[in-house]
Structure formats: C-alpha cells, structure tokens
Structure 1
C-alpha cells in the first residue's frame, strides 16, 4: 500500500467543529435520514432542526487529487438491487479488492461475499448485525473507498461516518435529503480531506459524454438551455413486496411534494454547462401536479387490508422545475414515477447553433443540418465519443454500460492519484432540488436560492467528466 495520505482530523475534533451545521431547514427537518432505517424502510422519526451556528470550513476540495495507490480497497454498504449489482463491476477491475460488505439481511451479504470469492479474491469481512453495523465496518483500516447503496434515509449518516473514519465515499442518489445535511457533507469533506461523491452513473452514458464533448468543442455555440428528468413508471416496483427491502421508497411519497430524484437529469446538463466550473446554479422554481397516481394504482392492484391503505400520498405525480444559472441559462427538470409513460431522462441541450434531444437521440446543428429535419446523432460518434467509450465500446454491467464506465473511471482516479471527475460540491448541487423543490411548491412556485456550496470556487474553470486520458 503506497497511500501516503495524512491522517484526517480525529472524530472528536471534526464533530466539535461541525456540530449544528448551518443551513435553512426549509420547514422539513423531520424528513431526513435516520440511521436506524437503513433497510427496513420504516418512517424516520421527527428530529429538531439544526441550529444555525457558524460553520468552520477547510480548504476547498475542488481539484484535489486522490493519493496514488497500487491497489484500491473497497467496501460496499447496502447490497440490495443496486449494491448487489454493482459489486461485480468492482470485481472486474484487477487493481480493486473488495475487503468488506455490509447489509442487515445476511443472505445478501453472503451472496456478495460468494461473488468476491468466485472472482478469485479473499473472502470479504461481513457486517450483518443490524442496521448500524456499518459503523464497525467503517472503523476498519483496510478500506480506501466506500460505496453506499442503502435507502435514502441513511445516505447522509453513512457518508458522514465514512469521512469521519478517514474513508473516501461514494453515495447513490440522492446524497442526502435536507439542505443542512448537504452543507455538513461539504464541510466534512473539506475538513477531513476525504472526497464525498454522488455516484451519478448517467453522467457516464455514451450519449451524455458525447454531448458534453460537443458542447465543450463549441458545436452548440453559446449554451442557452437544457433539460433533464427522471420520468420512470415505478408504480409496480414501489408496491412490490419483494423488489425493495420494505416500502421505504414509496413512503417518501407521503412526506415530500417536490423532485425526489433530480440527480439523473440535473447532473449531465450541469456538466454540459460547467456548473461549479465556470457557472453555477443560483435558483430553482418548482411546480407540481396533484398526487393521484399511486392512490389509483393502489385501488386497482392492492387487496383490502394491505398496509399501503394507511398511507396518504402527497408527492406530486409530475414535478417541473426551472433552474437558473449565474450566466442566465435555464435548466428544466422533471420528475414522475407514479403515472404510466415510457422511460425518459429528456437529456436535451440547446445553444445559438442548434439543439440535441434524447429519447430518441436526434440533433439539429448549423451548418450541418437544414430544412427543419433532425440529423443523425451517431454521425458524431467517431469525432466526439469520449475516450472511455472508445476504450470500452461494449462495457459490462447495467444501464447500457454506464455503470461500468463510472466505476472504472472512479477506481482509475483512485489508483493513479487523479482528482475525481466530480466532487462534494457537485453532489450537494445536484441534490439540492430535493428540499428546495418541495419548498418552492409549498410557496406556490416561489424561487428558492440554491446555495453556492463551492464558496466562490465555481468561478474557476477546471476539468470535470470531460477528462483527459491518463498517460
């Protein structure tokens, strides 16, 4: 092991300097992550809003590289549908070792451990003794990076503990559920000198990376607007007794009215516009439809006496948000998981020279196209496909290979000592619409300020997902 990273501050020191992280609770402090709900999906208990006291920051984490290491030692916390599918992608990389796994359901941890052994690695340590056993895993000294794939309620607590224990951490979407929690993750990343990243796989989609490189090459001219979404009919899965470990995802529809899952749409468009790398998101205005879809589905498919009949749904069936940037650009976000429709992340970008729209992929650029006829997006593959997709034309894993591309690139950065393609500031920015869209809808669409989590660093251009190929 050749990681010479200085030891992070002690847990006692960091806890003292971050106690009571500042940030508006927006009247929804009772919605956030309670550690003990990591797998059961039961409703989190209400908790008081954090007091607004001054935060103490450290130096920025923008552009900070990982320490070079010959072998990257990984632990996975949460081994359900997502975590259980991701482990084989880590095992596909010869410089990665899976040293520990954690899930309250022992069968899931044992299944993951068997996959590690089948890949020719030593059996990982198992942590299966309740929903807080991840704390014991995080106390280990043979872990460099932690992948968190638990229910949303627990994301903040696990990410926080990982950094306090000296680990870099990647969290499935969203990274937290409250604005004060986002600020605390930013503060902790700066103070512990550990990266906390949103594991946003859609930023590594082949189309997304091609559009990103075209935007940076000026093919769209001056950028004006973009759109992203998570429009995905999840009704059957949310009412399934086996797909999720408990009804945790459906229960969020009883708590918030805003965009519960903005990251898949927001992340790629933010990259196109260099948000946090020359521009920044400054405000969001959100509007929501009535909440009817889940109740209708329940009436048609769930038997009398099912526990879901005790639930009252308040989450808007379709949420539409408009994000404004410092340069005056507009980003439209949509969220809809409770009505029937084909899958779409929208994924569009427009500028003074033309526009791209996905689902299906089509493009119209001057001077390449004319007569109001969409052009062939694949014609730009040879010139503008990202080097990662040229190296891995047929990657393994789900979601069209973007999961593997994400894992490969992140582990590559850890091994070679490179800065990650995105950081805690991106995680906080891409997740901020969760609490802020709820607040805006409650205020009849009134704009809500998106904090500058970078504290001014956004003005400095720096690399992101459009990365240079390592030597």
Structure 2
C-alpha cells in the first residue's frame, strides 16, 4: 500500500466494481465478439517477482475448499497466516482456532459483510491472498487483490465471462502481480507423469486431447442455506454449456503448450437435454420445495470441441448430473501413441528401450508357457499398440515427475484430493520464495475459464463455433513451455 492510502484504495475498488458491472452488461450472445482491449501494462508471461523469505498469506473464504488450504499451509515451511476473512462466522472461527491449536500466531479476523475482505486488503503485511469463494466473486476479488498490491490465487473457474477474463489479464499486466487460478489437477501424480512423458517425446507429435469433469453432484442440491450446493445449484438454471471446464482441460493444455507455443483458436459446443436435476428434485424433495420450482436449463452432458492454432483438437466434457463413475478423461494422443486415464492405460508404437525390454521378457515367458502346454490355444502375440497396457508401475518407475518423486509421500500424508492440493500449495510457495515463475499464470486462468462462457454462446447459437480471444496478445508465440522441474 505504498502508492495509495487505505481510503483511496477503498474508493478505487468501488469504482472498479461499478466498471465491472457495466462491462458485464455488454456481453452479447456471441461472446467471442468482445474486442481485444489495448494493454495498459506489459506482459506477465514468465513473471518473476522478488524472492520472499516468508510468504505472508491472507484468506478470503474458508468453507469446504478454503479451510483445507488453511490446514495445508500450517504444514508448509516459510509461510505466515496473517488474516482470514469469511461471512460464515462458524467456519471462520474454526479455521482461526485450527491455526492457533497448531501453535501458530492467531490470524486477524474479518467478517460482518460481503465486502469485509476489502478491509483485509488494506493490510501491508500480506503478500498473497487465497480466494475460495462462490464463482461470482472470483474475478472482482482477484482484481481488487492485485489493485491492493498483492498476488491473487483464486479457485476455479477464475472468471465466468469474457469481460471478466480480460479484467484479470489487464489488471495483472498493469499491476505486475501474479493472478494464478489454482487448478489443482495439474499437480496430480498421473497428470505430472503424463506431462513428463510428453516432454520426453514419448507420444511423438501431439494431435488430440480429451478432458472432462464428469462427477455426479446431484447430492449438492440438498445444501440449501450454506455449502457449495447453496449457490452452485443455481448455475444450472442460468447457463447451458460447460459450467466447469478447467479440471480436465488444465493438464491437457499444459501437455499441448497452450499459451506457450500454441493457443486455443475456436470452440464449438453441444448440450444434451437437461433432465436429470429436475427428476432428482422431484424424487428427493416435496412438490412445493424450492428445488422443484427451479428451471434447470444446463444440459446434463455438455461436449465442447476446441481447435488450436497449430491444428490440434481437444474434446472437453461436463456432466455433474448423470449417475456414472467419476472421470476427467485425461487423454493425450500423438503420432507414436496414446495415454488415457480413468482407468490409466497406455499404448505406444515404439516404447522406450527399458519398457521394450520388459515387454520382450514378458512375451518370452508367456510364449514358453504356451509351448510347455503343448501349444494349445492361440499363440501369444507380442505386446503392441493394438492393446492397452494397464500395468502402470513400470511406466511410473521411468516417468514419475521429479517433483512428485521428491514431494509425493509428503503430499499423500497431507492429503487434499490424493495430495494434489498440498503439492500445488507447496509449489506456489516454493516459486515465490525462490524467485521462479509460477507454473500457471493469468493467461492460463483466462483461456481455460473462457470455455465456460464461449460454450454457452455456442450452444445458444446452434453450436456454431466461437472464437477464443488471444489473452496473451501474441506472447504465446514466444512463451517458454512449462519445464519438468525437480
């Protein structure tokens, strides 16, 4: 807060909120018609900020997600939890008490109104702010965080309109502050392993990817007054498209170097009928219950297809309604083979020498048993790309990501979606303390989040394609691909 005083800051964010509201009213059905605004700053591609001996953290929102982040940060070296803000007093006090019980200094407490966080943002002893609130708050809180001189780390999606995507980009470039959407799936063991496989050229030249968020969440409709379902359910009554694209899309985007050598070009989207939530409400709630008065318009299954400038294709699906197993797809296909998740399986034409040796040894044993048995039945075939290899241990032995090799056991001990939450938070702090660029930047936040409003626009327009803005303003052509860090 060296350049503006507290009163001036509160006036500036009030004006910013009003400007955002006006911009939001300008959205057309063709969301891709929004023009590329002229930058008022400089690119934050590869942004490196001064090293922080200690990362001082403030939290906005400590519900189901934010409270977990607080717990993880009490187990990460080099951080201080300075303040916590939430309108839900019970959850706020639980997080504060947890910090104190861990033997750490008591964080400052902010509550009382939807905008209590603004008072927290005037503090000069906070470096980064973790934002874990309902979606409608993500962009305004991130923008105001950067305006206050702090780095913003926000839950997914970072934005729900194209205008909001540009607000994030423009503010980050003008303030030279980080704005990272915390896409935790990028830090899953399998996703990190596949990234390492891609970087080592295992699949050859990349052609196609598939991503998804298929997760039956109808039960959240029973959360009426609080928790995620109290607000997330209503998005199914407002928009028909891919409401939540980033969990599967984030890793595939990193595999394909999106915004770092390639970028999204356009998207087309189709939705199935919207039947499941109305049927669930009719079955689970009284006829006069508010859940039975809602008009659910979001198709139970949305399928969107993205074309990149380099010609690659990506399928992205969303379904939080249908009774089916969880899946993020996590498929990447190239000229030498394919990896697919849920369950994990791999098929390559030319395996690496160590894997080829294992295949030859396994085939020799199988062939010997067949011959010993009097050559009964069909002769065994050598392993090839015509069949999936589902034994991942040998692949992990060669391709486990070095960061997971180093931190995987600690991540599993601390938990959070199998450890990916902890590993993400640890990595954020590591980068800030060591003067390294973050693994995800504001351009990723904007591009991945933009599929939400653009898929809605496509569905509304009989699935015609919608252009995806170049949020990097051309910097993708020289952006450095995400490396394999140890």
Query: Is the TM-score greater than 0.5?
Result: yes
Deviation at 1:66, TM superposition (A): 2.2
Name the stretch that deviates more: 370-379 or 258-267: 370-379
- Alignment match, 1:356: 339
Judged with a 3 Å threshold, the aligned counterparts in structure 2 of structure 1 residues 296 and 139 are, in CA distance, closer, same or farther, namely: same
Deviation at 1:374, TM superposition (A): 1.2
> Aligned runs of 1:272-311 on 2, under 5 Å?
272-311=255-294
Partner SS for 1:142:
coil
State whether residues 269 and 302 of structure 2, in contact with CA within 8 Å, keep that contact through their aligned partners in structure 1: yes
- Alignment match, 2:139: 156
Judged with a 3 Å threshold, the aligned counterparts in structure 2 of structure 1 residues 146 and 467 are, in CA distance, closer, same or farther, namely: farther
2-side partners of 1:57 and 1:103: how far apart? 33
Show CA shifts across 1:4-46 (max 9, x none).
x996998588978x957979723499xxxxxxxxxxxxxxxxx
Partner SS for 2:83:
strand
2-side partners of 1:142 and 1:216: how far apart? 39
2-side partners of 1:105 and 1:246: how far apart? 15
Q: Is 1:71–2:51 an aligned residue pair? A: no
State whether residues 237 and 243 of structure 1, in contact with CA within 8 Å, keep that contact through their aligned partners in structure 2: no
Judged with a 3 Å threshold, the aligned counterparts in structure 2 of structure 1 residues 339 and 116 are, in CA distance, closer, same or farther, namely: same
1-side partners of 2:349 and 2:40: how far apart? 46
2:200 aligned residue (212, 217, 229): 217
Partner SS for 1:392:
helix
Partner SS for 1:225:
strand
Deviation at 1:377, TM superposition (A): 2.8
Show CA shifts across 1:67-88 (max 9, x none).
1011001111111111111211
Which of the pair has more CA radius of gyration? 2
Partner SS for 1:432:
helix
- Alignment match, 1:114: 97
2-side partners of 1:355 and 1:89: how far apart? 35
Partner SS for 2:65:
helix
2-side partners of 1:456 and 1:22: how far apart? 24
Partner SS for 1:75:
strand
State whether residues 155 and 181 of structure 2, in contact with CA within 8 Å, keep that contact through their aligned partners in structure 1: yes
> Aligned runs of 1:51-130 on 2, under 5 Å?
55-130=38-113
Partner SS for 2:445:
helix
- Alignment match, 2:27: 25
Q: Is 1:379–2:394 an aligned residue pair? A: yes
1-side partners of 2:312 and 2:23: how far apart? 29
State whether residues 22 and 52 of structure 1, in contact with CA within 8 Å, keep that contact through their aligned partners in structure 2: no
Partner SS for 1:254:
coil
Q: Is 1:433–2:451 an aligned residue pair? A: yes
State whether residues 168 and 179 of structure 2, in contact with CA within 8 Å, keep that contact through their aligned partners in structure 1: yes
State whether residues 196 and 423 of structure 1, in contact with CA within 8 Å, keep that contact through their aligned partners in structure 2: yes
For structure 1, which runs of at least 5 residues remain unmatched after alignment?
A: 30-49
Name the stretch that deviates more: 422-431 or 371-380: 371-380
Show CA shifts across 1:155-194 (max 9, x none).
1111111011011011111001110011011000000111
Deviation at 1:218, TM superposition (A): 0.7
Judged with a 3 Å threshold, the aligned counterparts in structure 2 of structure 1 residues 209 and 245 are, in CA distance, closer, same or farther, namely: closer
For structure 2, which runs of at least 5 residues remain unmatched after alignment?
A: 352-382
Structure with the largest fraction of helix = 2
Name the stretch that deviates more: 237-246 or 62-71: 237-246
RMSD of aligned alpha carbons: 2.4
1-side partners of 2:71 and 2:280: how far apart? 35
Deviation at 1:417, TM superposition (A): 1.4
Show CA shifts across 1:351-389 (max 9, x none).
000000000000001223516221233312122211221
- Alignment match, 2:430: 412
Judged with a 3 Å threshold, the aligned counterparts in structure 2 of structure 1 residues 56 and 226 are, in CA distance, closer, same or farther, namely: closer
TM-score, normalised relative to structure 1? 0.89
TM-score, normalised relative to structure 2? 0.86
State whether residues 26 and 435 of structure 1, in contact with CA within 8 Å, keep that contact through their aligned partners in structure 2: no
State whether residues 196 and 484 of structure 2, in contact with CA within 8 Å, keep that contact through their aligned partners in structure 1: no
1:389 aligned residue (396, 401, 404): 404
Q: Is 1:370–2:361 an aligned residue pair? A: no
State whether residues 22 and 53 of structure 1, in contact with CA within 8 Å, keep that contact through their aligned partners in structure 2: no
2-side partners of 1:238 and 1:202: how far apart? 24
Equivalent pairs counted in the alignment come to: 443
Judged with a 3 Å threshold, the aligned counterparts in structure 2 of structure 1 residues 56 and 220 are, in CA distance, closer, same or farther, namely: closer
